[in-house]
Amino acid sequence: MSNVIIEVNQLTKKFKSTLAVRQADFKIYKGEIFGLIGQNGAGKSTLLKMIGGLVYPSTGKIHLFNSEMNANHPYYERMGLLIENAGLYPQYSAYDNLKFVAMSYGLKDHLKHINELLELVGLSRTNKTKVKNYSMGMKQRLGIAIALMGSPDVLILDEPINGLDPQGISDIRNLILDLNSKGITIIISSHILEELSKVATKYAIIHKGEIIEIHSKEELLLKCEDRIEVEVSDVKMATPILEEHLNIGNYKVMNDHTVCIYDSHIENYRIVNALVENGISVHSIMKHKQSLEQYFLERTESVVTAHG
Amino acid sequence: MWLQPMVNLFKMDFRRFISNKMMYVLLMVFSAFQIFGIFMINQYEEPTEHGGLLTSAMNESQFIQSMLAQTPSWVMIYIAVFTVYFYMSEYNSGFYKNYITLSRARINSVLSKILIQGVFTLFIFVVFILSDLIGRTIFFEQATIGDIGYFVKLLIGQIVLHWSFSIMILCITIIMRNIIASIVISIALVLNVFGMVLGVLESLITDLNLTSYLLVNTITNRTIDFNNLGDFIHVFSVAIIVMLVFSLIALNYKIREDLR
């Protein structure tokens, strides 16, 4: 049986003249934490709303648990949503808000379930406080508790760390990792890649409604790792020299002329000398040091340039 | 059971309904103004030139019909305000996102709101009658009900008409998604602006009097005799048609709506 939980094919959403999401294609596997990264207005929320059944796609298909989704499909019940701001009645307490949701789910033993959820998100002490007196972080945590009410298999969290202080961000991060360890597949969006990188296992970069890259965590870290990029006349001849003369084992051949060395402690001149002494022409050598944030900006800028 | 998800949503809405201070405030203000209105009638009541019945001498059925015939009808205004408030408080808070993944949630949510409107209409009529009885006892020194059979028919007819009015307002609110716009349209409906315009246009074209079948015209028509089978059928057919038409429009819109 396939482990694909969500499959999105050529998903497009157009609002009047605005193309919010353009031909999105990706798969999310069971147990993943799928990070959706994009600037404000990139189309993250619209994409998540389509997956969560709030917004209908203009074209394209969504498969959930290997079934094609249509309006009111029962599989939507296996999802918990926290999209944009948590949907809460400010004049009611956290307990009341959770009770409303529990009633909509028809939960019999809702008192026990509500208390467990409040405990899980760390709001059990303030369960009688009106939500209008909550901080942003507390509202987000309550939103997550509500999203967990139906014991979902998939949790969709749209910008859950927006407006949170460092402690709040850390709490939400730990909560997400804890929920994932219990088997919940999580889709999380953010415009802060650095933060997303601490939880996500797969990343999709969305820019102007288009998914421009999808990477596993390992691939992304590799791309952002400190490296020396060497452009030579013949890469096949260069790599044995690097191994034998400089004892370099951590490298990756990018193409016929380029090799990336992931050992930034070696001085450039030693690499050049070793290669030149063995008859290899070195066209260029460059040290790369890139943060995840820089990588993201570079990717989105390159898309802007490519699109003119 | 297919009905259970709708019952669950209704229970949720009903809990919000009864725990909502706004509902009680509306009913209390309505009651106070109703009693105050009776006091004012008592102060300034004069015999009509044509020898009509004095308001203070009316029984409860006659009094209700005379009150509801006044434009704007306060009962309709309160129903409109509550309908817009109840729907928009959920919509603006985004609370619907918490249950929208449930099976048939869009349909059930509209049906549940329609039932809540029915309960509110019932509540406001109970308060209406109690306030009338209190006010009339204090200021008119009489609170006769009159023919109980007629009174019951009148109440059932008017409750069903007002419930259908609230469904019409709910439908408008669902489509407008804006408090101010919904209230403005509701007030125009309560003032019977559309009914009057259509009435004038109709009188220019034909003398069929089809506009008497408009909902607000039916509610405010004091000549309707609930003992007359023709009038009774008129009232119920108008109410049921309005209910069905606006419920279906609201459901259809909600099913297709892109939620923010």
ipTM of the complex: 0.91
The pLDDT value given to residue B252: 97
* pLDDT at B231 (0 to 100): 94
Tell me the range of A4-13, A167-176, A226-235 where mean pLDDT is highest: A4-13
Higher pLDDT, B204 or B208: B204
Domain that holds residue B201: 4-42+56-256
- pLDDT given at position B49: 53
Where do we find the tokens 């926290």?
A82
Check which CATH number belongs to the domain holding A37 and give it: 3.40.50.300
Mean pLDDT of A220-239: 86
User: Cα separation of B125 and B127, whole Å?
Assistant: 5
Does residue A30 sit within a domain?
yes
Task: Please tell me the total count of domains within chain B.
Answer: 1
The answer on A158 and A88 residing in a single domain is yes
A203 and A239 both lie in a single domain:
no
Q: Give residue A303's pLDDT.
A: 61
Q: Residue B51 falls within a domain, yes or no?
A: no
Same domain, A258 and A137: no
The per-residue pLDDT of chain A, averaged, comes to 89
Same domain, A203 and A232: no
Q: Tell me, yes or no, whether A210 and A78 share the same domain.
A: yes
For the CA atoms of chain B, what is the radius of gyration? 20
In a domain, B76, yes or no: yes
Assess if residue A299 is contained within a domain. no
Its domain, for residue A9, covers 4-216
For residue A125, report the phi and psi dihedrals to the nearest 5 degrees: -75, -25
**Has residue B77 got a pLDDT over 70?**
yes
String of DSSP letters for A92-158: SBHHHHHHHHHHHHT-SSHHHHHHHHHHHTT-GGGTTSBGGGS-HHHHHHHHHHHHTTT--SEEEEE
Greatest mean pLDDT among A74-83, A296-305, B149-158, B219-228 lies in B149-158
Candidates B18, B86, B93, B101, partner chain A, best to mutate (most A CBs within 10 A): B101
* Residue B90, in any domain of the structure: yes
Residue B47 lies in a domain: no
Q: What average pLDDT score do residues A31-44 get?
A: 93
List the CATH number of the domain containing A269: 3.30.70
Q: Which of A2-11, A139-148, B203-212 has the lowest mean pLDDT?
A: B203-212
Q: Is residue A276 part of a domain?
A: yes
**pLDDT for B145 beyond 50:** yes
Backbone angles phi, psi at A21, to 5 degrees: -135, 135
Distance from C-alpha of A81 to C-alpha of A62, rounded to nearest angstrom: 16
In a domain, A302, yes or no: no
From A255-264, A286-295, B201-210, B213-222, the region with the lowest mean pLDDT: A286-295
Flag the least confident range among A32-36, B19-23, B205-209: B205-209
Residues 218-257 of B with CB under 8 A from A: 255-256
Q: Is the pLDDT of residue A305 over 80?
A: no
How many structural domains comprise chain A? Answer: 2
**Cα A276 from Cα B231, distance rounded (Å):** 106
Q: What is the pLDDT of residue A308?
A: 46
Among the candidates A216, A242, A272, a domain finishes at A216
Shortest Cα–Cα distance, B57 to chain A (Å) = 46
Same domain, A45 and A191: yes
CB within 8 A of A282, min separation 6: which ones?
A230, A231, A232, A271, A272, A275, A276
Residue ending a domain, among A194, A216, A238, is A216
Comparing C-alpha atoms, which of B61, B222, B260, B232 is closest to residue B160? B232
- Give domain status of residue A221, yes or no: no
Give the burial class of B207: count Cβ atoms within 10 A of its Cβ; 0-12 exposed, 13-18 middle, 19 or more buried: exposed
Compare CB distances from B95 to A49, A89, A105 and report the shortest one's residue.
Answer: A89
Closest CA–CA distance from residue A152 to any residue of chain B (Å):
10
- What DSSP element (H or E) covers B90? helix B74-93
Tell me which residue in B98, B101, B256 faces A76 most closely, judged by beta carbons. Answer: B101
Evaluate whether residue A222 is within a structural domain. Answer: no
pLDDT for the residue numbered A227:
82
Facing residue for A104 by CB, picked from B12, B89, B260 = B12
Per residue in B95-141, pLDDT tens?
999 999 998 999 999 999 999 999 999 999 999 999 999 999 999 99
Residue A185 lies in a domain: yes
Residue from the list B21, B103, B260 with its beta carbon closest to the beta carbon of A77? B103
**Nearest-neighbour CA in chain A from B31: distance (Å):** 25
The answer to whether the CB atoms of B101 and A81 lie below 8 A apart is: yes
pLDDT tens string B26-51: 999 999 999 999 999 999 887 655 55
